[in-house]
Structure 1
Amino acid sequence: MSVAEPRKIVLFRHAKAEWSEVSDHERPLADRGRKDAAVAGRKLADSGIPFDLALCSTATRTRETWKIAVHELPHRPKTVYEERLYEASPGELIAVLNETPDDVRDIVLIGHNPAVHGLAEILAGRAEADARERMNGRGFPPAAFAVLSFEGSWKTLEPGVAALLDYWAPED
């Protein structure tokens, strides 16, 4: 793959989790979260993006979200469970993405707010149609995702280099 071909990054926030008596890292999905994760998976499938790699936080709610969503995709990408995605800042997420080999074209990153929303804002130097307004108007609720595109090596991913192509969130 040429580094000049556009790459896609989907920033996917975990679905709604329960507030249970376990540590934050171990919080499971709520019933609503399981339903929304499946719908988000169908929307990801509709995007037609052939993901090469999924980077998923090790938190229970992100792993459960991805396990449900990936079943809706026509092709199951390689999945890496990455501890650094839990409680990461947008800058730390960029650092993880910068480590991606250049033979990987399209990535879905399953993580947490506020970092996922912040990263979408930071990367998006431009936006298609009303994608930015829809994303900021909704505040990146659970199970929402943003689709971004950029050209170049993963090592060159930095603030402002991407285009926000689309944004989706489940209905309230």
Structure 2
Amino acid sequence: MSVAEPRRIVLFRHAKADWPQVSDHERPLAERGRMDAAVAGRKLADSGLPFDLALCSTSVRTRETWKLAVHELPHRPKTVYEERIYEASPGELISVLNETPDDVHTVILIGHNPGVQGLAEVLSDSAEPEAREWMRRRGFPAAAFAVLSFDGSWKSLEPATASLDSYWAPSE
């Protein structure tokens, strides 16, 4: 693949978590979260994007979200569970994405807010108007995802180098 071809990043926030008496990292999905994760997986499958790599936070709720969503996809991409995604800032998430091998075309990153929403905002220098408006109005609720594209190598990814192509969030 040539680095001149657009690359895609899907930023996927974990589904709704429960609040049992456990550490934040160990919080599981709530029943609503389990349902929304599967619906999000079907929407991701409908996008037709061929995911090459999944980068997933190590928290219980992100791992559960990904397990339910990936089950809906026609092809299971290689998954890397990355500790640095948990509680990461947009800059830290860019650093993780900068390490992506050049033979990878499409990455899905399963993470947390405020980092995921912040990253979508920081990266996008342009946007499909409807996607920007939906994200502005809805924020980045649990199980939402945004699809961004950019040209160049993963090492060249930095603020204001991507376009927000689409956005989806579950109904309230």
How many residues are aligned here? 172
Aligned-residue offset at 1:38: 0.2
Counterpart position of 2:149 = 149
CA distance in 1 between counterparts of 2:73 and 2:57 reads 19
Aligned-residue offset at 1:139: 1.2
CA distance in 1 between counterparts of 2:136 and 2:111 reads 18
Counterpart position of 2:169 = 169
Aligned-residue offset at 1:150: 0.4
TM-score (norm. length: structure 2): 0.99
Q: Are residue 160 (structure 1) and residue 160 (structure 2) matched?
A: yes
Q: Which amino acid aligns with 1:7?
A: R
Counterpart position of 2:3 = 3
Q: Are residue 138 (structure 1) and residue 138 (structure 2) matched?
A: yes
SS of 1:51's equivalent in the other structure is coil
Counterpart position of 2:71 = 71
Counterpart position of 2:56 = 56
SS of 2:146's equivalent in the other structure is strand
Q: Are residue 108 (structure 1) and residue 108 (structure 2) matched?
A: yes
Counterpart position of 1:36 = 36
CA distance in 2 between counterparts of 1:127 and 1:98 reads 22
CA distance in 1 between counterparts of 2:128 and 2:94 reads 22
Q: Which amino acid aligns with 1:60?
A: V
1:79-118 mapped onto 2 (5 Å cutoff) = 79-118=79-118
Q: Which amino acid aligns with 1:37?
A: A
SS of 1:100's equivalent in the other structure is coil
Counterpart position of 1:19 = 19
CA distance in 2 between counterparts of 1:136 and 1:95 reads 25
Q: Which amino acid aligns with 1:55?
A: L
CA distance in 1 between counterparts of 2:9 and 2:155 reads 14
CA distance in 2 between counterparts of 1:53 and 1:113 reads 21
CA distance in 1 between counterparts of 2:102 and 2:72 reads 26
Summarize deviations over 1:65-93 as a string: whole Å, max 9, x none: 00000000000000000000001000000
CA distance in 1 between counterparts of 2:149 and 2:118 reads 16
CA distance in 1 between counterparts of 2:87 and 2:164 reads 23
Summarize deviations over 1:79-127 as a string: whole Å, max 9, x none: 0000000010000000000001100010000000000000000000000
SS of 1:130's equivalent in the other structure is helix
Aligned-residue offset at 1:129: 2.5
The unaligned stretches of length 5 or more in structure 2 are none
CA distance in 1 between counterparts of 2:129 and 2:136 reads 13
Aligned-residue offset at 1:133: 1.2
